[in-house]
Chains A and B, each alone.
Chain A
Amino acid sequence: MFNTALTWSDLAFLAQGAAMTLAVTAVSVTAGTLLGILFGVIRVQASTYWSVPLTFVLDVFRSVPLLIQLVLANAFQSIAKLGWGPFTTSCVVLSLYTAAYCTEIVRGGISSVPATTRRASRSLGMTWWQDMRYIVAPLATRVSLPSWIGLTLGVMKDSALVLWLGLIELLRASQILVTRLQEPLFILLICGAIYFLISFPIARLGGYLEKRWSPND
């Protein structure tokens, strides 16, 4: 088992795959979080005319498998002749997917701020924006951050699915090596170890923050 044909350049190839995974994750999580914050505020604050359709649309992203979403988006971009490459398509889909979950997290965070606190700030003469910026944001972040970290890790893991569009990320890179070297277990173990090394410390940090910041301890 320890006589492996794996060379350093193969490992570099895996590292490139991991970099692609991280790039897709970084772009999608950034865009998705910004969208999620926007949608979350709309969901809590806007009238039902806005929030109900928005909730429905975002719910679709959470109830349809990501793989199907990716295939659909790819087919759509070629039908509409948008000329997106696999990277752009993956990032757009993953961003919307992230936004759908992030909206719920943001909504939960905002509604965890007691209405009395917000009324107090408004009656001190703060504008809506000041109330959001100085009162709601700090309090809501404490509640939302642990689940947001969980979401980020979830998106990192789910980004493995973009291999279906032909993007060479970590899992696809290891699959290519498996096909060439015929050592599935060894290479997949390395691949899994890389995922684990990225995910585990951050998951632990999330767990720690959740314990540290939970209101009733």
Chain B
Amino acid sequence: MFNYTFHWNQALKALPQMLDGALITLQIALLSMLIGVACALALTGFRLSGNRVLSGFATTWIEIARNTPALFQIYMAHFGLGNFGIHLSPYTALLVGIAFNNAGYLAENFRGALKAIPDTQTRAGRSLGMTALQAFRFIVLPQMLRVAFLPTTNQMVWAILMTSLGVTVGMNTDLAGVTQELNARSFRTFEFFALAAVIYYVIAKAVTLAARAIASRMFRY
């Protein structure tokens, strides 16, 4: 049917290299999630703080993160910051861009999760003699984490997929970057990228299944 000979061997030979790239991909995704969750919690706090400046800052961050493409955010980190004399390596730019994006989406998730917990619970905690912090720590936070857990793992999968954008700013150590480099050397585009797609699929599925397993163990009651 096709006048084309597939060379799967070449792609399979490069599998170890690509798996190394997959590790970098996972590393970036994990780091960006950790930074993202920390920023998102801070942003959620800012929003609830009632301080005009802080909540304005949080809203601006969240709206920009949610209303512009992730690729644009990475470009901003890579090219835009150069105006201020800050020159980030592709790795850092990718990490900053994805973490910024994650924080925006996660903050929105956390806000939704907080809303799902009735105010009466805090009041009940307070009237049992808890301080405000205790009520938040022991009553609200555990329930909030439960509600926010699955959206957060979804965001983790998104982060993994987003790392592939690094190749557009010259990243060459993550899975997409390694694949692109191999492709530039051999022009076996289809074979290499098909293999990369399989690896991405396996990683994404593994993360989803692991998250489900963790959720069913942690949130049994």
Contact = CB atoms under 8 A, between A and B. Distances in A.
B216 interface: no
B189 A160 contact: no
Contacts of B167: 67
A67 B196 CA distance: 11
A192 B76 contact: yes
B83 A203 contact: no
Given A67-B167, A185-B83, A157 B193 contact: no
A68 B200 contact: yes
Interface residues of A, number: 39
A152 interface: no
B85 to A, nearest CB: 11
Contacts of B1: 80
Contact of A64 (B72, B80, B197): B197
Q: Could you say which interface size class chain B belongs to?
A: 35 or more
A60 B205 CA distance: 10
Interface string B172-206: 00001001000000000110011011001100110
A51 interface: no
B82 interface: yes
Given A64-B197, A64-B200, A68-B197, A184 B2 contact: no
B218 to A, nearest CB: 24
Contacts of A66: 161
B189 A75 contact: yes
B68 A199 contact: yes
Nearest to A157: B69
A149 interface: no
B67 A60 contact: no
Interface in A13-46: none
A72 B79 contact: no
B69 A72 contact: no
A84 to B, nearest CB: 15
8 contacts: A64-B201, A65-B176, A65-B200, A72-B193, A184-B82, A195-B67, A196-B67, A196-B68
Interface of B: 1-4, 63-64, 66-72, 75-76, 79-84, 157, 161-165, 167-168, 176, 179, 189-190, 193-194, 196-197, 200-201, 204-205
Interface of A: 60, 63-69, 71-72, 74-76, 79-81, 153, 157-158, 160-161, 163-164, 171, 175, 178, 183-186, 188-189, 191-192, 195-196, 199-200, 203
Given A63-B204, A72-B197, 18 more contacts: A63-B161, A65-B164, A67-B165, A68-B179, A68-B193, A72-B193, A79-B190, A80-B2, A157-B70, A160-B69, A171-B69, A171-B72, A184-B83, A185-B81, A192-B72, A196-B63, A199-B67, A200-B63
